[in-house]
Amino acid sequence: MDPASTIDFARSAILVLLEIIAPCMITALVVGLVIGLLQALTQIQEQTLVFVPKIVAVFIVLLLALPFAGQAMSGLMTDIATKIAAY
C-alpha cells in the first residue's frame, strides 16, 4: 500500500465514523440545550435532570440509525476488501 492510498483509507474511515456518530451527537446536543433552557427558565438546579432524557433520546436515535450505520460500515468494509484484493 502506498502512502496515498493509506491516507485515502483513513479519510474514508473518518468520514464513515462522522456519518455514524453525527445523529447521536446532534440529538444529545439538542436535548441538552432544551433541558438546560428549561432549567434556566424554571430555575430548577437539579444536575441529574439532564442525563435521563438525554440517554433515552440517544438510545432511541441509536435504534433508528442502526440500519444506516450498518450499511455505512458494510460499504466501508466492501471498499477495504476491494482494495486488498486489488493488491
Q: What are the tens digits of pLDDT across the range 26-65?
A: 999 999 999 999 988 988 888 788 889 999 999 999 999 9
pLDDT on residue 44: 83
As a whole number, mean pLDDT of residues 1-23 equals: 91
- Residue 53 to residue 31: CA distance in whole angstroms: 7
What grid cell was written down for 71?
450499511
- Residue 35 to residue 51: CA distance in whole angstroms: 10
Residue 1 has pLDDT above 80, yes or no: no
pTM, full prediction: 0.80
- Residue 33 to residue 51: CA distance in whole angstroms: 12
